[in-house]
Structure 1
Amino acid sequence: MYIDYDRKAHDWHSAWNSRDAKAICGLYADNVVFISPFVAKLGLSERGVLTDIRALYDYVSMTLSRVANLKYDMVANCVGSQGQTIVYRNQSSHIVAETLEYNDEGLIRLANVAFSTAPIKRKNYGSR
């Protein structure tokens, strides 16, 4: 099955920045495995793993309500042999890498999220 990873990255980015939990979860399979240290931080799973769309919807809804200024700025779309890693800067200036794998219907079946350990300071070169 052909997957347009640039389109997938665009759709993912647009959904998250829309702050619409239904639009976001519409990108994921019902049996998604979602792994993130933020899941553990919110107390939703000790290991940071969610294993279905209902749990992901609860996580997304909680995240959107807790992070009023949530915004992702794309840094890179890295394509691999079995999926992609979307790299972005979040509203706290942390660099985040989210590795996504897709099922046969083109929905995200696995998402593994990793955060930088400290915000990355923006540098101003020249007169920008």
Structure 2
Amino acid sequence: MPHHHQPSNLAALGRTWVEAWTARDLERVLTLYADDVVMTSDRIPAMGFDESGTVRGKDALRAYWSKALALLPELHFSLIELFVSPDSVVVFYENERGKRICEYLRVNAAGKIVQGSANHLVG
């Protein structure tokens, strides 16, 4: 069954997510995630992690993002828009290189992120 969250709570989660990343506060970012989180991104194989592009669990996510942050000293996200559904928020943002990205974040009943997918423009 899908969990129904208030749009304002999901929007607040999305804003906190952007703020925590821009502060380069990895532990704050990770507090937003469930222990059994599944994260998918085309950057995961590029960083030498799972070839499938998916990491599973908070510990694997911490390892992946720790490596990514070390390689991206200029990392900065600027929020463009937030989109909400009853059980997810999509954060549309621009990164430090001017790339526009949509991050799909699905949340559980406790309001923690259980699935994240980084969606990049094609081409």
Work out whether the TM-score is over 0.5: yes
Aligned residue pair count: 118
Secondary structure of the 2:48 match is: coil
Q: Distance in 2 between matches of 1:23 and 1:84?
A: 18
Aligned twin of 1:55: 60
Percent of paired sites with the same residue: 25
Secondary structure of the 2:75 match is: coil
Q: Which of 74, 83, 86 matches 2:79? A: 74
Secondary structure of the 1:30 match is: strand
Report the residue type matching 1:84 in the other structure: V
Q: CA RMSD in A?
A: 1.3
Q: Which runs of 5+ in 2 are unaligned?
A: none
Aligned twin of 1:94: 99
Q: Distance in 2 between matches of 1:33 and 1:54?
A: 11
Aligned twin of 1:23: 28
Radius of gyration: which is bigger? 1
Q: Distance in 2 between matches of 1:106 and 1:5?
A: 8
Report the Cα offset of residue 117 of structure 1: 4.1
Q: Distance in 2 between matches of 1:84 and 1:6?
A: 7
Mapped pair 1:12 → 2:48:
no
Secondary structure of the 1:93 match is: coil
Secondary structure of the 2:119 match is: strand
Higher relative contact order (CA 8 A, sep 6+): 2
Q: Distance in 2 between matches of 1:115 and 1:22?
A: 24
Q: Distance in 2 between matches of 1:2 and 1:49?
A: 26
Report the residue type matching 1:108 in the other structure: I
